[in-house]
């Protein structure tokens, strides 16, 4: 079904003209969110309220150029356009299908009050799950090529909310534990930043980030609650190199009655363009993978060639054999190519992306995988050496395509990206444009992309559906080889409410063996085994890794859940939770009537009541519960789990007992 209405609705969008000043009001389709837009001599500004509660006070908009001055004050309206859209669209893969896209929009076209004044347009949209706006610089003689020195977008919050955030401009990119503080204590944060208030939850982020720098949120003063959009600069200080016509990413403010409802928002994807109608998506398939990976992170093996080399033909074939006996689609091999000698992350990269190291036969391994109905997942670790990589990129994707490889994991380990003689942040325009080249080249060779250490997600997978998943988070690897003690038990009940709002997370769950302290005495996975299973449901990704070693899965009946859990969904519903404490998510398989539930807790035990009213009424389901044993504990007894079966229907209410750092993973199979 596709229904687009293009209407002028005076009730939804009301305008007032008071001398030079003008005011418009834009309502969400359900009238719960109101966006006020106001033009005066100083600037165009916006404000937002939700159920009569002010969220953002009047906040100014504008841009500043290196050479052409500011574009903010002294503006006149040259045209105003309004429309309402109510349609659905079908993603190639995702958390639900179809997706409802319903909003009211106002486009204000402005010009500076002078004969040769620069032109600026701002598009505002209000959805039931939040608001968004973006700048458009139309083609104009008075502004052609430009360097943006600053974006003047303000976020003047009404309340000193509780903020969940990670700091920007740090060496480990997005790989930090989330901080919880008063909003006024935030100095400069990456997005999404999630804010919790009284009867409201808000997340500030962006959508459709392309040919631009990523936005961070910078406090305008010590202890203030007024923030500005701080674009991550190039090495020379410029924010964006552009030319008109140019459309900026959307600035997004997701709003819901609580943080759980935020998880059910499709705002970010809805704001991205549909994929080109003739795009070949036949090779794009969500799925599960294993790989030569965790054994390096826990220090049993190494990426470097030699005696401890992780990637060997024999080891790869062991993974393939295990995967072929299970419902696993792909096997990742890291460290198979030349260039991993010694401290590869410390020196200019010497990676050769098409030549295997001694002891690894890519032709044999990829052919063996295909013979077993599987595929190898390729690996392009660039160690942040962008030009070294780009010189080989086409050949490297081609090499994989010829061997039946249909997905590649990317890596950008390093504190800054190499850019000739200078170094760039991982989050500026340089990286945004590099990733676009990667995704385009991969698509040409029918390759899906899973990118680590990359730019945050802003929903571009709607337009480029081979951009499957990414890290951009402090993932499981930190419980393996990180020099500190790894992630805290509450980390995985924070990231769905923060990082997860931006898009899929390649967190790599599925650790079953917690006794790996031989080489990593200070590290541990801070969950129970049952919680590892639950993460397949609470952390969304169309490609999910079963991260542990095949021998650690052997003999575990719990692996059945990993075999069964899908990675593509018809419906997804965040049911209950509290950021930092717990989360329960239910999802229905895209290709069957079966449902799956994941419930996860922080370091505290808890008992949850779960109404099964999401199930189809008047049907019986066989429920298989994978849950913490009564004495399970993330530190003391992580591997203690039990599996129970019973018949249930939608009118039943279950009690879930989660132990400290624990969880429960549930499968509901429809009984015919």
Minimum gap (Å) between residue 586 Cβ and ligand NOJ: 29
Residues contacting residue 274 through CB under 8 Å, at least 6 positions apart? 89, 462, 463
Select 94 or 414, whichever has its Cβ closest to Ca ion: 414
**Partner that binds at residue 77, options ligand NOJ, Ca ion, none, CB closer than 5 to 8 Å by kind:** none
**Partner that binds at residue 251, options Ca ion, ligand NOJ, none, CB closer than 5 to 8 Å by kind:** none
Residue 295 interacts with ligand NOJ (CB under 6 A)? no
Select 125 or 380, whichever has its Cβ closest to Ca ion: 380
- Residue numbers 447-466 binding Ca ion by CB under 5 A: 452
Count of residues near Ca ion by CB under 5 A: 1
Residue 434 interacts with ligand NOJ (CB under 6 A)? no
Pick the closest to residue 148 from 216, 238, 237, 243 (CA basis): 238
Do 129 and 255 meet the contact criterion of CB atoms below 8 Å apart?
yes
Catalytic residue among 477, 603, 616, 642: 477
Select 50 or 340, whichever has its Cβ closest to ligand NOJ: 340
**Partner that binds at residue 411, options ligand NOJ, Ca ion, none, CB closer than 5 to 8 Å by kind:** ligand NOJ
- Residue spans of alpha helices (H) in 527-653: 529-538, 550-553, 559-564
Residue 413 interacts with ligand NOJ (CB under 6 A)? yes
Question: In this structure, what DSSP letter does residue 19 have?
Answer: T
Minimum gap (Å) between residue 301 Cβ and ligand NOJ: 11
Q: Per residue in 170-182, is it b (16+ CB within 10 Å) or e — as a string?
A: eeebbbebbebee
Minimum gap (Å) between residue 411 Cβ and ligand NOJ: 4
Q: 188: part of which helix (H) or strand (E)? A: strand 188-189
Minimum gap (Å) between residue 112 Cβ and ligand NOJ: 47
**Partner that binds at residue 381, options ligand NOJ, Ca ion, none, CB closer than 5 to 8 Å by kind:** ligand NOJ
d(CA 381, CA 410): 6
Residue 471 interacts with ligand NOJ (CB under 6 A)? yes
Q: Of residues 293, 322, 497, 507, which one binds ligand NOJ by CB under 6 A?
A: 293
Count of residues near ligand NOJ by CB under 6 A: 8
Residue 504 interacts with ligand NOJ (CB under 6 A)? no
Select 190 or 452, whichever has its Cβ closest to Ca ion: 452
Residues contacting residue 27 through CB under 8 Å, at least 6 positions apart? 12, 13, 33, 34, 35, 104, 126
Minimum gap (Å) between residue 656 Cβ and ligand NOJ: 31
**Partner that binds at residue 293, options ligand NOJ, Ca ion, none, CB closer than 5 to 8 Å by kind:** ligand NOJ
d(CA 614, CA 621): 12
Minimum gap (Å) between residue 349 Cβ and ligand NOJ: 11
Minimum gap (Å) between residue 522 Cβ and ligand NOJ: 19
Residue 155 interacts with ligand NOJ (CB under 6 A)? no
Minimum gap (Å) between residue 268 Cβ and ligand NOJ: 23
Select 169 or 344, whichever has its Cβ closest to ligand NOJ: 344
Select 367 or 413, whichever has its Cβ closest to ligand NOJ: 413
Pick the closest to residue 584 from 571, 594, 574, 570 (CA basis): 574
Known catalytic residue: 109? no
Pick the closest to residue 194 from 168, 158, 159, 163 (CA basis): 163
In a 3-state reduction of DSSP, which class is residue 369?
Answer: helix
> For ligand NOJ, what does the binding mask look like between residues 447 and 466, x meaning CB under 6 A?
-----x--------------
Pick the closest to residue 670 from 598, 589, 607, 609 (CA basis): 589
Select 452 or 587, whichever has its Cβ closest to Ca ion: 452
Do 335 and 296 meet the contact criterion of CB atoms below 8 Å apart?
yes
**Partner that binds at residue 105, options ligand NOJ, Ca ion, none, CB closer than 5 to 8 Å by kind:** none
d(CA 209, CA 251): 10
Pick the closest to residue 353 from 411, 299, 416, 414 (CA basis): 411
d(CA 641, CA 461): 37
**C-alpha atoms less than 13 angstroms from C-alpha of 496 in its C-beta half-sphere:** 36
Q: Of residues 310, 339, 411, 660, which one binds ligand NOJ by CB under 6 A?
A: 411
Pick the closest to residue 311 from 371, 373, 357, 345 (CA basis): 357
d(CA 313, CA 357): 10
Active-site residues, by number, are 477
Binding site for ligand NOJ (CB under 6 A): 293, 334, 381, 411, 413, 452, 471, 477
Binding site for Ca ion (CB under 5 A): 452
């Amino acid at each position: 079904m596709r229904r687009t209405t293009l209407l002028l609705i005076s009730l939804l969008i009301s305008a007032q003209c008071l001398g030079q000043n003008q005011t418009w009001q834009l309502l969400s389709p359900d009238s719960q969110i109101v966006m006020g837009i106001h033009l005066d001599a100083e600037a165009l500004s916006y404000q937002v309220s939700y159920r009569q509660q002010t969220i953002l006070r009047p906040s100014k908009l504008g841009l500043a150029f290196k050479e052409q001055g500011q574009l903010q004050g002294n503006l006149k309206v040259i045209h105003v356009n309004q429309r309402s859209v109510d349609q659905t669209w079908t993603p190639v893969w995702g958390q639900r299908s179809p997706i409802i896209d319903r909003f009211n929009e106002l486009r204000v076209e402005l010009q500076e009050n002078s004969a040769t004044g620069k032109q600026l347009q701002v598009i505002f949209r209000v959805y039931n799950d939040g608001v968004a706006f973006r700048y458009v610089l139309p083609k104009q003689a008075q502004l052609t090529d430009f360097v943006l020195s600053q974006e003047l977008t303000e976020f003047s919050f009404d309340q000193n909310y509780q903020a969940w955030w990670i700091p920007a401009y740090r060496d480990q990119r997005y790989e930090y534990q989330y901080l919880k503080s008063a909003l006024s204590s935030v100095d400069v944060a990456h997005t999404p930043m999630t804010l919790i208030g009284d009867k409201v939850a808000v997340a500030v982020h962006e959508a459709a980030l392309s040919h631009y720098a990523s936005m961070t949120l910078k406090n305008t003063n010590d202890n203030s609650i007024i923030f500005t959009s701080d674009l991550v600069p190039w090495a020379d200080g410029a924010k964006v190199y552009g030319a008109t016509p140019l459309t900026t990413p959307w600035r997004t403010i997701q709003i819901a009655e609580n943080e759980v409802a935020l998880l059910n928002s499709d705002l970010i994807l809805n704001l991205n363009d549909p994929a080109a109608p003739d795009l070949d998506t036949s090779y794009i398939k969500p799925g599960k993978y294993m790989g030569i990976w965790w054994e390096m992170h826990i220090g049993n093996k190494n990426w470097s060639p030699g005696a401890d080399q992780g990637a060997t033909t024999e080891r790869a074939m062991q993974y393939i054999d295990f995967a072929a006996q299970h419902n696993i689609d792909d096997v990742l091999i890291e460290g198979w190519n030349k260039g991993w000698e010694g401290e590869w992350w410390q020196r200019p990269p010497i990676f050769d992306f098409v030549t295997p190291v001694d002891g690894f036969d890519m032709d044999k391994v990829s052919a063996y995988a295909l013979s077993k109905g599987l595929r190898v997942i390729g690996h392009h670790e660039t160690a942040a050496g962008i030009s070294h990589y780009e010189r080989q990129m086409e050949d490297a994707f081609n090499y994989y395509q010829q061997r039946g490889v249909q997905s590649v994991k990317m890596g950008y380990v390093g504190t800054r990206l190499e850019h000739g003689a200078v170094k760039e942040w991982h989050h500026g325009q340089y990286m945004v444009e590099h990733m676009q080249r990667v995704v385009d080249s991969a698509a040409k060779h029918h390759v899906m992309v899973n990118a680590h250490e990359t730019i945050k997600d802003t929903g571009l997978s709607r337009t480029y559906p081979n951009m499957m998943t990414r890290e951009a988070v402090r993932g499981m690897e930190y419980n393996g080889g990180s020099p500190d003690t790894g992630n805290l038990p509450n980390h995985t009940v924070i990231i769905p409410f923060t990082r997860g709002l931006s898009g899929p997370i390649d967190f790599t769950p599925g650790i079953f063996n917690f006794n790996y302290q031989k080489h990593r005495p200070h590290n541990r996975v801070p969950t129970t085994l049952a919680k590892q299973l639950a993460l397949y449901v609470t952390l969304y990704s169309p490609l999910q890794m079963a991260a542990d070693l095949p021998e650690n899965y052997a003999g575990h009946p719990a692996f059945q859940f990993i075999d069964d859990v899908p990675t593509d969904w018809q419906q997804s519903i965040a049911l209950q939770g509290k950021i930092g404490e717990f989360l329960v998510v239910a999802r229905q398989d895209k290709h069957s009537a079966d449902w799956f539930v994941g419930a996860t807790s922080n370091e505290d035990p808890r008992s949850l009541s779960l109404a099964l009213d999401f199930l189809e009424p008047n049907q019986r389901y066989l429920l298989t519960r994978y849950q913490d044993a009564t004495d399970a504990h993330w530190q003391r007894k992580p591997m203690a789990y039990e599996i129970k079966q019973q018949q249930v229907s939608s009118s039943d209410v279950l009690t879930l007992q989660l132990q400290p750092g624990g969880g429960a993973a549930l499968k509901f199979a429809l009984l015919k």
